[in-house]
Amino acid sequence: MRKFARAQGELAAGVHVVRMQNNTVPMTGMTVDDVMRRWPSTIRVFLDFRMRCVGCPIAAFHSVDEACVEHDVDVGAFLPRIVEAAKAAA
């Protein structure tokens, strides 16, 4: 366990930090809230697909792929659009 703590970072004795990867584009495993906060330009895509995730309290818990399932949206069509929106805003 000690090796893991040193590899991941350690704030104080017994307090461990796991560093998150810095994604450059939205991914299906990310929460909807994380995607919309990091890339506000993706909000339009959610609305275009009739996904009412903006302001939804569940957005902090649902991943992009879970939201697609809940809203009957094809993730294969949706993901390229949010990636495109995120890249265009960069």
Q: What integer pLDDT is reported at residue 17 of this predicted model?
A: 34
| Alpha-carbon distance values, 9 to 5, 21, 80 (Å) | 6, 14, 34
Name residue 73's amino acid.
Answer: V
Backbone phi and psi for residue 5, each to the nearest 5 degrees, phi listed first: -60, -45
Domain ranges (residues) in the chain: 23-89
CB under 8 Å, gap of 24 or more: what pairs does 18-23 form?
none
Q: What integer pLDDT is reported at residue 34 of this predicted model?
A: 94
The reply to whether CATH 1.10.3910.10 applies to domain 23-89 is yes
- d(CA 65, CA 42) in angstroms, rounded, equals 15
- d(CA 45, CA 36) in angstroms, rounded, equals 10
pLDDT tens, N- to C-terminus, the chain (90 residues): 444 344 444 434 444 333 344 667 888 889 999 999 999 999 999 999 999 999 999 999 999 999 999 999 999 999 999 999 999 987
